Structure 1
Amino acid sequence: MRKSAILVSLMLCLNMAAWAQSEAPKVVVTSFTVRSAQDLPDVRKTLREVMVRQLSELGLQAVESTEVVNSEGQARAVARGLNADYALYGSFNKIGNSISIDAKLVHTPGQKKTQVLFGQESGMENLVKAADTVSKDVAVFLLAKAVIADIQVKGNERIESAAIQLNVKSKVGEILSPEQVREDIRSIYKMGYFEKVEAEVTDTSKGKLLTFVVRENPTIQEVNIKGNKKVKEKDILAAIATKPYTVLEKNVINEDVQKILKLYQQKGYYNAQVATDITYPRDPRNAVVTFNIEEKGRIDIEEISFTGNEHFSDRKLRGVMQTKQKSMWLSWFTDRGILQKDILDTDVDRLTVYYHDRGFMDAKVGTPDVSFREDGIYIEIPVQEGERYRVKDVNITGGSAEDNEQLQEKLKVKEEDYFSREKLREDVQEISKAYMNQGYAYVEVNPDVKQDQAAHTTNIVYQVDRGNEVHIGTITISGNTKTRDKVIRREIDLAEGEKFSADKLEKSMTDLRKLDFFENVEIVPTEGASPEVMNLDVKVKEKFTGSVSVGGGYSSDDGLFVTGEVVQRNLFGKGQYLGVKGYLGQSAQRYVLSFTEPWLFDKPINAGFDVYNWVRDYPDFTKDSVGMRLRSGYAFGNWSMISGYYTFENAKISNVADDASSILKSQEGRTNLSAVTGILERDSTDHPFLPTKGSINVVSLQYASPYMGSDSDFLKSELESGWFFPLYWKLVGFVKGSAGWITESSSDPAPIYERFFLGGINTLRAFNWGEVGPQDENGEYIGGTTYSLANVELLFPLLEKMGMRGVLFFDAGNAYLGSNPFKFEDYRYDAGAGVRWNSPLGPLRVEWAYNLDRREGESSNKFQFSAGAFF
Structure 2
Amino acid sequence: MQNVVGRLWSQTVDAARRLLLAFLLIAVGATIASAQSVTVRSVTIEGNLRVADGTILTIGGIDIGDTLSTAELNDAAQALRASGLFESVDLIPRGNGLLIQVAEYPTINIINIEGNARLRDAQLLQVVQSQSRRVYSPAQAEADTAAITQAYAQQGRINAVVTPRIIPLPNNQVNLVFEVVESAVTEVERISFIGNRTFSEGRLRRVLETKQAGFLRPIIARDTYSPERVAADREVLTDFYRSRGYIDFVIQNVDVALTRERDAYLITFNVREGQKFEFADVTVRSEIEGIDVSDFQDAIRVRRGATYSPVPIDSDVVRLERLALQKGLNFVQADPRITRNERDLTLDLEYVLVSGPRVFVERIDIEGNGTTLDRVIRNQFDIVEGDPFNPREIRDSARRIRALGFFENAAVNTREGSSPSQVIVDVDVVEGPTGTLTFGANFNSDTGLGLVSSYRQSNFQGRGQRLNFELSTAETNRRLAFGFTEPQLLGRDLRFGLDLSYATTDNENALYDTESLRLSPSLSFPVSENGRLAVYYAFEYNDLTDVSDSASQIIQNEALEEGVVTNSLGYNYSYDNRRTGLNPNAGIVLRFGQEFGFGDTQFIKSTGLAGAETKIWNEEVTLRATLEAGHLSYQEGSSRVTDRFFLNSSLMRGFEAGGIGPRSTDLDSDLNITDDALGGDSFAVIRLEAEFPLGLPSEYGISGGAFIDYGSVWNVGETYGLDPLYNDFTPRAVAGLSIFWTTPIGPLRFNFTEPLDVQEFDNTKSFDVTISTSF
Equivalent in the alignment of 1:835? 741
- Which one of the candidate residues 723, 738, 742 is aligned to 2:632? 742
Q: C-alpha distance in 2, partners of 1:295/1:594?
A: 42
Q: Whole-Å Cα distance in 1 between the matches of residues 730 and 659 of structure 2?
A: 18
SS of residue paired to 2:661: coil
1:740–1:821 Cα contact (<8 Å) kept: no
Q: Structure 2 CA distance, aligned partners of 1:723 and 1:456?
A: 29
* SS state at 2:676 partner: coil
Letter in 1 for 2:78: E
Q: Pick one of 154, 170, 194 that aligns with 2:60.
A: 170
Q: Percent identity?
A: 14
Choose from 660, 681, 684 the match for 2:576.
684
1:144 and 1:861, CA in 2 relative to 1: closer, same or farther beyond 3 A? farther
Give the 3-state SS of the residue equivalent to 1:784 in structure 2.
Answer: coil
Residue in 2 aligned with 1:784? 680
Q: CA deviation at 1:147?
A: 7.2
Code of the residue aligned with 1:750 in structure 2: it is S
Query: 2:74 matched to 1:179?
Result: yes
Higher relative contact order (CA 8 A, sep 6+): 2
2:656 is equivalent to residue 656 of structure 1? no
- Equivalent in the alignment of 1:756: 645
1:317 CA displacement:
9.7
2:661 is matched with 773
Question: TM-score, length-normalised on structure 2?
Answer: 0.61
Q: Name the CA distance, whole Å, in 2 between partners of 1:483 and 1:279.
A: 44
- Distance 1:627-1:779 versus aligned 2 partners, 3 A rule: closer
Q: Is the 8 A contact 1:522 1:539 kept in 2?
A: yes
How far apart are residue 640 of structure 1 and its match?
0.4
Matches within 5 A, 1:507-526: none
Question: How far 1:787 moved relative to its partner?
Answer: 1.9
- Superposition pairs for residues 579-618 of structure 1, below 5 Å? 583-591=472-480, 613-617=502-506
For the residue of structure 2 that corresponds to 1:660, the secondary structure is: coil
Judged with a 3 Å threshold, the aligned counterparts in structure 2 of structure 1 residues 423 and 684 are, in CA distance, closer, same or farther, namely: closer
| 1:416 CA displacement | 13
User: Is this contact kept in 1: 2:707–2:735, CA < 8 A?
Assistant: yes
Contact 2:486-2:496 at 8 Å conserved across structures: yes
Helix, strand or coil: the match of 1:780? strand
Query: Helix, strand or coil: the match of 1:212?
Result: strand
Q: How far apart are residue 234 of structure 1 and its match?
A: 7.9
In our comparison, the structure showing a higher alpha carbon Rg is 1
SS at structure 2 position matched to 1:752 = coil
SS at match of 1:750: coil
**Corresponding position of 1:673:** 565
What CA distance in whole angstroms lies between the structure 2 residues aligned with 1:459 and 1:759? 51
| Structure 2 equivalent of residue 700 of structure 1 | 593
The AA in structure 2 aligned to 1:741 is H
Task: Tell me, yes or no, if the aligned pair for 1:797 and 1:804 is still in contact at 8 Å.
Answer: no
Q: State the AA in 1 paired with 2:767.
A: K
Rate the CA distance shift 1:415–1:278 in 2: closer, same or farther, 3 A: closer
Rate the CA distance shift 1:558–1:403 in 2: closer, same or farther, 3 A: farther
Question: Which position in structure 2 is the counterpart of 1:152?
Answer: 48
| Displacement of 1:215 | 7.0
**Unmatched 5+ residue regions in structure 2?**
1-29, 665-672, 718-725
Write the distance in 2 (CA, Å) between the matches of 1:578 and 1:405: 47
Change over 3 Å in CA distance of 1:500–1:655 after alignment to 2: same
**Counterpart Cα distance in 2 of 1:750 and 1:273:** 69
What are the Cα deviations for residues 494-551 of structure 1, in whole angstroms up to 9, with x where unaligned? Answer: 68998888898888888888888999797979879996xx899897989899979564
Change (3 A) 1:594 1:830: same
1:620 and 2:526 equivalent?
no
| Distance (whole Å) between structure 2 residues aligned to residue 576 and residue 202 of structure 1 | 74
Matches within 5 A, 1:51-450: 59-60=38-39, 143-146=40-43, 152=48, 169-170=59-60, 178-180=73-75, 182-184=77-79, 187=82, 197=88, 210-214=101-105, 223-224=114-115, 289=179, 291=181, 300=190, 305=194, 314=197, 343=230, 396=285, 398-400=287-289, 402-403=291-292, 441-443=330-332
Distance 2:74 2:765 in 1: 89
Task: Assess if the C-alpha contact under 8 Å between 2:407 and 2:430 holds in 1.
Answer: yes
Native 8 Å contact 1:413 1:423 kept in 2: yes
Q: Give the root-mean-square deviation of aligned CA atoms.
A: 7.2
Does the Cα contact within 8 Å between 1:438 and 1:500 map onto a contact in 2?
Answer: no
1-structure distance, mates of 2:708, 2:767:
13
The CA deviation string for residues 392-422 of structure 1, in whole angstroms up to 9 with x for no partner, is: 9999562137545766788899999999999
* Equivalent runs, 1:491-502 vs 2, <5 Å: none
Contact 1:642–1:680 at 8 Å: present in 2 too?
yes
TM-score, normalization: structure 1? 0.55
Q: The residue matched to 2:594 in structure 1 has which SS?
A: strand
Q: Is the 8 A contact 1:437 1:500 kept in 2?
A: no
Helix, strand or coil at the partner of 1:183: helix
Identify if the C-alpha distance between structure 1 residues 852 and 497 changes in structure 2 by more than 3 Å, giving closer, same or farther. same
CA distance in 2, matches of 1:253, 1:611: 54
Alpha-carbon distance in structure 1 between the residues aligned to 2:343 and 2:770? 66
Measured after TM superposition, the shift of residue 750 of structure 1 is: 0.7
**Cα distance between partner residues in 2 of 1:431 and 1:513:** 25
Alignment partners' CA distance in 1, 2:156 and 2:227? 13
Cα deviation for residue 682 of structure 1 reads 1.3
Aligned residues: 680
State the SS of the aligned residue for 2:48. strand
- Which one-letter code corresponds to 1:144 in the other structure? R
CA 1:305/1:197 → structure 2, altered by over 3 Å: closer, same or farther?
Answer: same
1:94 is matched with: none
Q: Flag the 1:731–1:714 CA change in 2: closer, same or farther, 3 A.
A: same
- Show the counterpart of 1:810: 707
Of the structure 1 ranges 425-434 and 551-560, higher mean CA displacement relative to structure 2 is found in: 425-434
Q: Aligned partners of 1:646 and 1:865: how far apart in 2? A: 29
Q: 1:512 touches 1:521 (CA, 8 Å); kept in 2?
A: no
Matched to 1:852, the amino acid is E
Distance of aligned partners of 1:743 and 1:830 in 2 relative to their CA distance in 1, 3 Å threshold: farther
Q: Select the residue among 624, 643, 657 that pairs with 2:535.
A: 643
